[in-house]
Amino acid sequence: MGYESIIVEEKNGIGRITFNKPPLNVLDIAMMKEINDALGDFQGKNLKTLIIDAEGKAFSAGVDVSEHTKEKVEEMILVFHAIFSHLQIMRFPTVAIVNGAALGGGCEVALFCDIVLASEKSKFGQPEIKVGVFPPIAAAVMPRLILGRKALELLLTGENVRANEAKELGLVSHVLPVENFEEAAERWVQENLASKSAVVLQLTKKAFLEGFNKNYPESIKAIEDIYLNELMKTKDANEGLKAFLEKRQPVWKDE
């Protein structure tokens, strides 16, 4: 399928959606529909990870304010929030690679991913309150990511935080140098995710979400079931354990 505002790729078990509306990658309704189509296409695939990154000087400066009108706001919200409905049910880990500003809706997309790799020059913020609105996704997600009062402060003030502060707050996983950032981010993905079994990555994420969304007595029962009745029936779990005992590197089949 051809896209005008994004680039979609799949290679060696890694999917990628690249925002391609430089310089600021402002998310209009047409672009968000393309993102949803791409996410839907990736949904059932057996991937190790899905990367979301961007061309241009910003990851994304947010949703197009010109479409935030009484006539378009309902469609805009529905299309925008559909992105997060897709991301929420992705079986495999999602990684945002942010090299520049991630603001408003762009910040929400980045923070909703499982892992955020940011360059030192990146900044994150929810400036919606400065134009008289608030960010619904950030209001739902930030309290889960940041302990204490800082999450509410960021929403109330609309102020930005730099990558290193964002990491200290728990919004960013890793901050990498600006020099060779793309190569360093790709290397991180290759070493930490692409080297693993796709099916084991997916089941680990499934178990984590059980623990995250339920209380301990409920979650541990569900996680035990995943471990015994799904994980231990995979070829790769048995291969990994066998390889360890035989003192060799495992050969994953991703199944």
Provide the phi-psi class of 132: left if phi over 0, else alpha when psi is between -120 and 50, else beta.
Answer: left
Nearest to 60 by CA among 30, 95, 102: 102
Q: Which of 142, 53, 141, 63 is nearest to 98 (CA)?
A: 53
Quick one: pLDDT at residue 129?
Answer: 96
Quick one: pLDDT at residue 52? 98
Counted residue by residue, the chain has a size of 255
Query: Which of 75, 139, 152, 72 is CA-nearest to residue 104?
Result: 139
CA dihedral 111, 117, 121, 125 (to 10 degrees): 0
The pTM of the full predicted model, rounded to 2 decimals, is: 0.94
Three-state DSSP state, 197: coil
Q: Write down the residue that tokens 């030192």 correspond to.
A: 120
Note whether 21 and 61 are within 8 A (CB): no
pLDDT of 136 reads: 95
pLDDT at 68: 82
Task: Name the residue ranges covered by the structural domains of the chain.
Answer: 6-194, 198-245
Q: Tell me which amino acid residue 80 is.
A: F
Phi and psi of 59, rounded to 5°?
Answer: -60, -55
Mean pLDDT of each 10-residue bin along the chain, 255 residues long: 94 97 97 98 96 97 90 94 97 97 98 98 97 94 90 96 97 97 98 97 96 92 95 96 96 95
Q: What is the pLDDT of residue 45?
A: 95
Report the topology of domain 6-194.
2-enoyl-CoA Hydratase; Chain A, domain 1 (3.90.226)
Distance, in Å, from the CA atom of 255 to the CA atom of 249, rounded to the nearest integer, reads 17
Alpha-carbon span 102 to 26, nearest angstrom = 10
Q: Is the dihedral of CA 61, 58, 185, 90 positive or negative?
A: positive
Task: Copy the structure tokens of residue 207.
Answer: 């178990």
